[in-house]
Amino acid sequence: MDRRGTKVSANPSPVSKEANANITLVQFGMIDQELPSQDKLYYQFIQGQKDPKRLYITLNDSHKDQDEQTHLIVLLSKKLTENAYFNEAKQFITMAFNDHPNHFQLCEEAARIHMMFMEFKQCIEFNKKAIALKKSEQDQNLSNIGLAYYEMEDYNEALNHLNQAIDKNSRNFGAKINLALVYKHMGNLDKALQILADVQMASPTETAAMINMANIYQIQGRHEQAAILYLEALDIDFNDEDALCNLGIVLSRIQYHDYAKLAFEEGINVNPGNKIILQNYLLFLLEIKHYDKFNTIMNHAKRVLETQDLQNLQKLYQDFQKASSGLASQQLNIQANASVDPKKAQSAGGGGLKSSLKNFFNKKKASNNAVKMNDNNSIKEIEEEEDKDDY
């Protein structure tokens, strides 16, 4: 799973709206006069009919200053998407833009929403409108246009706009990361790695650069190095979903199954609505034949994944139970053409990787966002189980 050079998610996560609403209510308790305006309006929204039109009318009635209105519209739109009210956010920002088409902030927010819905042409259109309305800081709009073209697999246009963004701002690391992704998908891995290495040197805490470098290492078969780099990114951000998912994938490839399971589970704990982590975790559970766990997670997946994805997974589950283990292993392959011999992997430095994994999950367990481990699945026992493969 590549990490784009923007904070915009291309895949809205359909987590339970009611669960989010309940969390917000517990947090707020009651409408506090000291709450920011956007929080008061959002509280009224979730307590009412969750009607974006009503929300927009209420905002306009309570705030007459145009600049203040625009600022609140953008904040509320972001708050709606943060709490999984994606369709409502889209309706809300559309109404606002129709009333105020000459505000570049609303253009940019509309572009962000369209990117989330993978409506790339509309994303490009609104970013171009924002550029026409702005006199400065156009590099991010150009970067977002380049990213949209990349998602559409129009790599020449993507390179064109991303290079324009970098020309305007040489420290736009998001544009550089997106540029690296374009070169990667064009097959120029060396060029992509060089760009990402330059970003990491200039900004050592840029986890997107680290994750994408590790993804290329996986393509090159450098699985140990990839795993270590994902762990370095997680040292910066314990809750990085992309790093956790990719860590689970690479560990499954070198058959560190217990640690892979922990990585996937923590990814699900961080964001239960992340479709990519969920699908990879379910495929992994089938690969290691943990069918009871698979069925448990599938109950949650029914609220998140599309019907076709669920049907495909269910068919794989049925086939896997019927087939011999050899045939099943050929049918299911988590984004890899072949697994790696664990003994060879460990002889290439597995001791260092195991030590890093142990340290990370111990720190994770001690943190407020700890991995929930079963009593019979401790770090020590995992290490002992992996050590058996050495003999």
Long-range Cβ contact pairs of 232-240 (< 8 A, separation 24 or more): 233/207, 234/360, 235/360, 236/205, 236/207, 236/210, 237/207, 238/363, 238/364, 238/367, 238/369, 239/270, 239/369, 240/207, 240/211
Residue 53 lies inside a defined structural domain of this protein: yes
Both structure tokens of 387: 């050590």
- Model pLDDT, residue 215: 96
DSSP state of 389: G
Other beta carbons less than 10 A from residue 303's beta carbon:
11
- Distance separating alpha carbons of residues 56 and 60, to the nearest angstrom: 6
Q: Report the run of H or E that residue 196 belongs to, with start and end.
A: helix 189-202
Q: Between helices 104-116 and 66-82, what is the axis angle to 10°?
A: 10
Rg (CA), the chain: 23
Distance separating alpha carbons of residues 74 and 79, to the nearest angstrom: 9
Q: Is residue 41 part of a domain?
A: yes
CA angle, 288 as apex, 285 and 293 as ends, to 5°?
Answer: 35
**Whether the Cβ atoms of residue 263 and residue 292 lie closer than 8 Å to each other:** no
CATH for 89: 1.25.40
Query: What one-character DSSP code corresponds to residue 390?
Result: G
Asked if 40 and 24 count as a contact pair (C-beta separation under 8 A), the reply is no
Identify which of 260, 242, 182 has the alpha carbon closest to the alpha carbon of residue 206: 242
How many Å apart are CA 181 and CA 213, to the nearest integer?
A: 10
Specify the number of domains making up the chain: 1
User: Apex CA 61: angle with CA 60 and CA 64, to 5°?
Assistant: 65
Q: Is residue 316 part of a domain?
A: no
Counted residue by residue, the chain has a size of 391
Q: Is residue 328 part of a domain?
A: no
Tokens read off for 153 = 């697999």
Q: How many CB atoms lie within 10 A of CB 377?
A: 12
Could you report the per-residue pLDDT of 39-84, keeping only the tens digit for each?
Answer: 888 988 988 889 999 999 999 888 878 888 999 999 999 999 888 7
pLDDT tens for each residue of the chain, 391 residues long:
676 664 333 333 333 333 333 333 333 333 344 556 788 889 889 888 899 999 999 998 888 788 889 999 999 999 998 887 889 999 999 999 999 999 999 999 999 999 989 999 999 999 999 999 987 779 999 999 999 999 999 999 999 999 999 999 999 999 999 999 999 999 999 999 999 999 999 999 999 999 999 999 999 999 999 999 999 999 999 899 999 999 999 999 999 999 999 999 999 988 888 889 999 999 999 999 999 999 999 998 998 888 999 999 999 999 988 875 555 455 445 444 434 443 444 444 456 888 899 888 888 777 744 444 444 444 444 445 545 444 3
Domain range for 118: 1-134
Predicted confidence at residue 35, as pLDDT, reads 57
Q: What is the pTM of this model?
A: 0.73
Say if residues 264 and 248 touch (Cβ distance below 8 Å): yes
Q: Which of 85, 11, 75, 91 is nearest to 37 (CA)?
A: 75
Look at residue 166 and tell me if it is in a domain. Answer: no
Does residue 314 belong to any structural domain of this protein?
A: no
Question: Which has the closest alpha carbon to 3: 199, 159, 269, 134?
Answer: 199
Q: Is residue 194 part of a domain?
A: no
Whole-angstrom distance, CA of residue 105 vs CA of residue 74: 7
pLDDT of residue 325: 54
Residue 97 lies in a domain: yes
* Digit-coded pLDDT (tens) for 122-137: 999 999 999 999 877 7
pLDDT on residue 118: 92
- Residue 342 neighbours by CB under 8 Å, 6+ apart: 254, 255, 256, 350, 386, 389
Contact 246, 1 (CB under 8 A): yes
